Structure 1
Amino acid sequence: MSDSWKASLPCTKAEAEAVAADISQLVLLETTPVLMTREPDPARPEEWLLEAYFDEEPGAETLAALKTLTPSAADAEPVVEKLSDEDWVTLSQQGLEPIRAGRFFVHTPAHRDKVPAEAVPLEIDAGRAFGTGQHETTTGCLMALDRLKATGGHFSNILDLGTGTGLLAFAALKLWPAARVTASDIDPVSIEVTEENAGINRIALGRARGQVELAVAPGLEHARLKARAPYDLIIANILAGPLIELAPSVAAALQPGGRLMLAGLLDHQADAVAAAYRRQGLMLSSSIVRGDWPTLVMRKRKSLGWR
């Protein structure tokens, strides 16, 4: 077994919650780490720790990129440790307990034997892309999908925009197995990870009903994404800024009466994000709040077209 390494940096609670939502500084590195955040001392709830696990010793460029995720620790140097007797993947996943969100049970390989009989299991490794189910935004989206199904929602053409690990695309297909599902991300690494996770979860890839089609694309700028429009359900778990910027193109790709799920935004950003989509003819129909992270479900007015 090869040596493994850990680099640690102090961070704030806000940085810990947001860190996995934007790993753009890390995905282009030769060695992309597994990121974990934790609260070392519950008596100091604002003082968190970022830990990055590597399968080789991180260099200066890698550590500099890691520091961009924790601006509050600008003057701190990462503490780098060699973990020669540990399997770094197993170590990184020890703190990842399974997540129960509605009917879904999201777990790592270490908890395969813990799946409740009535649950819909989804296995996602902690790894190179965002979306293990641990973050409140992902959990909120899973709960919102479950609620849509429970209240009679039926969807046949679904887009998961900014898919991360593929988790939400897979969850949507589990709920509506006859649907066509598209999963896209601006990050090629995310699409590689999604393809790997599809195999683990026995999700068929392709363009037919009951399959997930993958695409590397910024926003909706891809021929296949445009060809598949209009969608009756779009899931966008990204960040508030891109959500606002993409509002015209996302709303245009949604069919009249279609649903839009927005996440990756903080409480104080929700009004601005919702307003951007109201200007495009959408109405807020429901929301789920997990900690500081709301998930908004909006509906496009039926009087509007989609082009």
Structure 2
Amino acid sequence: MTDAASAQSWKVTLPCTRMEAEALEGDIAAFAMMDKPPVLMTSEAEPDSDESWRLEAYFEGKPGTAAVKLLRTLVPSARAAKPVIEQLADQDWVTMSQQGLEPVTAGRFHVRNLTGDPELPGHVNFLIGASRAFGTGQHETTSGCLMMLDRMRRVGMRFGNVADIGTGTGLLAFAALSLWPRAYATASDIDPVAVEISAENARANGVRLGTGAGRVGLFTAAGVDHPALIRRAPYDLLIANILAGPLIELAPSLCALVEEGGTIVLAGLLREQADMVLAAYRAQGMRLAQRSDRGDWPTLRLRKRPQIGWKRPRRFDSAERGEAWGFGSI
């Protein structure tokens, strides 16, 4: 490959389904080991068709056989399709890489992804650039969580110890700290790249890092498998914007980290998955306090029922750390 070819941008296109496209919103681990991972974008190939979607992967430099093969594993429905691989002009790459990055307003929050976008007066403004980590505010799961946090603050709810499990870009932890600035905030993700990006975003938005009040402590952890996450419990507010599968798997360990009367906000699940997720958390003593749907994506606010006598919950046992390997933030 010539130096000129290496410097050019390339696009690989594969067909996919809507379900596969939605799953890719949080899939950053597949290319995490690459120095320059591709930017993945999905769109409808045919309007109102769940089976006719497309995946476009933008590479800096011509993708090798291994990269294309790895891309295929993300969309199993395209195993018989021939990928379309094309070289792009530089100006086309700039245009395409910025598609879909319009600022998002959710309640009092305004999230912009490009430095050239102006701040919105009267709102809490965040600059969260597009990156390998999920959580720029574009997806309904993230904006749904922002709306839920805003509503909780408007009705006077107060929190002093907040955890954001599967933080992605750090946005939800930053938003919570802006609403309750004296709180202790903890944010974690299974992907170390997401934790690095969260730290960069914190500095870009003037969010203080650290373990004290009014600061965000960042940790790399699968589920809640980290001594610091357990030591800093119990939390009165825990946010988990991941996927339905790990939400169900992590229900016992997440609920064990929340104090009696505490709140859990869940997102990343589809409407048809809500009953299964709710059943898992009700079994741990949680009750549904509020539900808000944005398109096909519900956001659930749960409250931990106070218990008395022999049913009173014990503190989280560090020997029973919750793990959901292979899952990070959605």
Same fold (TM over 0.5): yes
Paired residue total: 306
1:111 shift after superposition:
4.7
Change (3 A) 1:119 1:306: farther
Cα distance in 1 for residues equivalent to 2:224 and 2:49 = 42
Q: Does 1:190 align with 2:194?
A: yes
SS of the residue 1:109 aligns to: coil
Structure 1 vs Structure 2 CA RMSD: 1.9
1:64 equivalent to 2:69? Answer yes
Counterpart for residue 324 of structure 2: none
Deviations 1:138-182 (A, max 9, x none): 111111111111111111111100011111111111111111111
TM-score by length of 2: 0.87
Q: Which of 25, 49, 53 is equivalent to 1:48?
A: 53
**Given the alignment, which residue of 160, 166, 175 partners 1:162?**
166
Q: Sort the Cα spacing of 1:39 and 1:168 in 2 relative to 1 into closer, same or farther, 3 A.
A: same
CA contact (8 A) 1:106 1:133 kept: yes
Q: Greater CA radius of gyration, 1 or 2?
A: 2
| CA deviation string 1:74-97 (max 9, x = no partner) | 212322222242384663123221
Query: Deviation string for 1:6-62 (max 9, x for gaps)?
Result: 222222222222211233322233432222222355365652222222222221121
Match for residue 144 of structure 2?
Answer: 140
Q: Helix, strand or coil: the match of 1:193?
A: helix
Partner of 1:214: 218
Q: How does 1:153-302 map to 2 (within 5 A)?
A: 153-302=157-306
Instruction: Using structure 1 for the length normalisation, give the TM-score.
Output: 0.93
Deviates more, 1:66-75 or 1:87-96: 87-96
Equivalent positions of 1:113-128 (< 5 A) are 113=118, 115-128=119-132
Q: Which amino acid aligns with 2:63?
A: P
Does residue 36 (structure 1) correspond to residue 46 (structure 2)? The answer is no
Distance in 1 of aligned mates of 2:46 and 2:245: 32
Residue ranges of structure 1 left out of the alignment (5+ in a row): none
Counterpart for residue 322 of structure 2: none
Q: What is the identity percentage for the equivalent residue pairs of Structure 1 and Structure 2?
A: 56
Would you say the 8 A contact 1:31–1:56 is kept in 2? no
User: Does the CA-based 8 Å contact 1:253-1:306 persist in structure 2?
Assistant: no
**Whole-Å separation in 2 of the counterparts to 1:254 and 1:306:** 11
Give the distance between the partners of 1:171 and 1:5, measured in 2 at CA. Answer: 36
Gaps of 5+ in 2: 316-330
User: What is the rounded CA distance, in whole Å, between the counterparts of 1:23 and 1:65 in structure 2?
Assistant: 12
Distance in 2, Cα, partners of 1:89 & 1:254: 44
How far apart are the structure 2 equivalents of 1:265 and 1:110?
31
How many angstroms apart in 2 are the aligned matches of 1:159 and 1:285? 19
The answer to whether the Cα contact below 8 Å between 1:159 and 1:183 also exists between their aligned partners in 2 is yes
> Residues 102 and 112 of structure 2 are in contact (CA less than 8 Å); yes or no, is this contact kept in structure 1?
yes
- Quote how far apart the aligned CAs of 1:239 are: 0.9
SS at match of 1:117: coil
Take 2:163 and 2:75, find their aligned partners in 1: how far apart are those partners? 32
